[in-house]
Structure 1
Amino acid sequence: MEPTIDIPNGLRSVPWSDGRRRAHLEATIAQAPDPDAIWVFGYGSLIWDPRFEPLETRFATLDVHRRSFCFWTTMGRGTPEKPGLGLGVVPSDGPVEGLAYRLDPKGLNDVLEALWLREMRAGVYHAEWKRIRTSEGCIHAIVYVANNDHPNFAGDLPLEEQARIIARAKGAMGWSYEYLGRLVKGFKQYGINDTYHEELYKRIMEIISVRQ
């Protein structure tokens, strides 16, 4: 028998209206440190599935943050009955290694709107300008930081509990663990160091192998 997983009551995803999302996007871009160089920091699915052609890509490091599967997902890779966990970055000692993408001014608005529809659909993130280190110097990039005031914020769960939740969750976009599997593959492809999430994926695969 699988161990009991404590799922909060009333989990749901409430999409932002188009107007709210566009207003948030416009306010974020208005605060750009350099309007002529819009960068986005990829630490999760943007590593292996950016869905746009960047003008430039750099290996990048975000300090004083860490990756964390820290919010409940009830649609894409989970359901209200068996939610998955979504990835964010949260303030911590860090650092977080990832990829920084400089957006092409041609088609910039379309790319930004697609990013906001993808990442800011329900407000589980704050879109913040952060100082990012790269081998070619420091830049400022948009980072989607976990919103710890969101009703679906799960906080800092133990690795074993994360593994059990992710191993069993499935939604409209597929199994929750498939996301992490693609991310770990991206780590290897780009030389990104994240032993914690590699260990988490290993533990999930152990749980699944026993279940099968």
Structure 2
Amino acid sequence: MLLTPELVALTLKDVRDDGPEPGWTPITDAEVDGLVDFIEKDAGVDPIWVFAYGSLIWNPEFEPAGRERATAYGWHRSFSLKIERWRATSAQPGLMMALERGGRCDGVILQLAPVRRRDDLRALVKREIRYRDVIDMVRWVQVKTPHGVRKALTFWASTKRAGLTMPLSQESTATLIANACGEGGSCAQYLHNTIVDLQAEGIRDRNLWNLQALVAAEITAISTERRSETRYVNQA
């Protein structure tokens, strides 16, 4: 992989918390509880499985009662959600990964432990859905697993009705990812961590693999330009 930890380190910097995402409305505790109620009612007595395709693979923040490889057909990963907080700023926006329609997405499903189901589900919803505007991007998807087809909950699954995402060219995507960093780390770090964990699961996403090479080249070019500027200033 060309996007090495050394290159990722070049994208990291200390960034202050500038508050909520501009233009979005923070979700209230009552709205979180309402969304959890809806999910639990929809699931009924069946186990709740969560389809993880990005950061939830390497940082679920709950102890799964079960874990299986899974494929969601009709969806694919895409850095298509523009952000100005967490791993980006208003001065240097970045991109977050979402599911877009078409293709296939290989990932894993994680089962919420029955004894902690509501508590873990509430914590997960509160982590993933911080704004009222993105509630529509929580949905159930059908996934194929070694044990058959399962219904799984997933987050940031884009719909045309939501209108929150806009897929870009890989070159434009790479430029945004290479430059963006916020209080939660950099977009390049997020991309690197996702690919590493996908590889650990035996998953190779061709689009992400191509993207990391472009991001690595962009970071290298930025670093080279900065060194040249520093030398020029020192000589002047």
The two structures have a TM-score, normalised by structure 2, of 0.80
Does residue 37 in structure 1 map to residue 47 in structure 2? yes
In structure 2, runs of 5+ residues without a counterpart are 1-20, 224-236
Counterpart contact for 2:140–2:152, Cα < 8 Å: yes
Counterpart contact for 1:83–1:169, Cα < 8 Å: yes
2:71 alignment counterpart: 61
Q: Secondary structure at the match of 1:63?
A: strand
**Within 5 A, what are the aligned runs for 1:108-147?**
108-122=117-131, 123-124=133-134, 126-144=137-155, 145-147=157-159
Q: Distance in 2 between matches of 1:205 and 1:44?
A: 19
Alignment CA distance shift 1:149-1:166 (3 Å) = farther
Count of matched residue pairs: 200
Does residue 203 in structure 1 map to residue 214 in structure 2? yes
Q: Distance in 2 between matches of 1:46 and 1:24?
A: 19
CA radius of gyration, larger in: 2
Residue 85 of structure 1: CA displacement? 0.5
Does residue 157 in structure 1 map to residue 152 in structure 2? no
Q: Secondary structure at the match of 2:211?
A: helix
Counterpart contact for 1:74–1:80, Cα < 8 Å: yes
Match of 1:77 among 87, 92, 98: 87
Residue 150 of structure 1: CA displacement? 4.9
2:98 alignment counterpart: 88
Q: Secondary structure at the match of 2:137?
A: strand
Match of 1:106 among 107, 110, 115: 115
1:49 alignment counterpart: 59
- Cα displacement string for residues 34-86 of structure 1 (whole angstroms, at most 9, x for unaligned residues): 53311000001011111111111000000101111111111110112211101
Aligned-residue Cα RMSD (Å) equals 1.7
Q: Secondary structure at the match of 1:184?
A: helix
Residue 143 of structure 1: CA displacement? 1.4
Q: Distance in 2 between matches of 1:147 and 1:84?
A: 20
Q: Secondary structure at the match of 1:82?
A: coil
Higher-RCO chain (CA-CA 8 Å, sequence separation at least 6): 2
Residue 28 of structure 1: CA displacement? 2.0
Does residue 25 in structure 1 map to residue 28 in structure 2? no
Counterpart contact for 1:12–1:74, Cα < 8 Å: no
Alignment CA distance shift 1:147-1:74 (3 Å) = farther
Residue 146 of structure 1: CA displacement? 2.4
Q: Secondary structure at the match of 1:196?
A: helix
Q: Give the % identical residues.
A: 29
Alignment CA distance shift 1:86-1:193 (3 Å) = same
Counterpart contact for 2:89–2:182, Cα < 8 Å: yes
Q: Distance in 2 between matches of 1:116 and 1:154?
A: 20
Higher helix content, 1 or 2: 2
Q: Distance in 1 between matches of 2:154 and 2:68?
A: 15
Counterpart contact for 1:70–1:154, Cα < 8 Å: yes
Counterpart contact for 1:68–1:90, Cα < 8 Å: yes
Q: Distance in 2 between matches of 1:49 and 1:176?
A: 15
- Runs (4 or more) in structure 1 with deviation over 4 Å come to 147-151
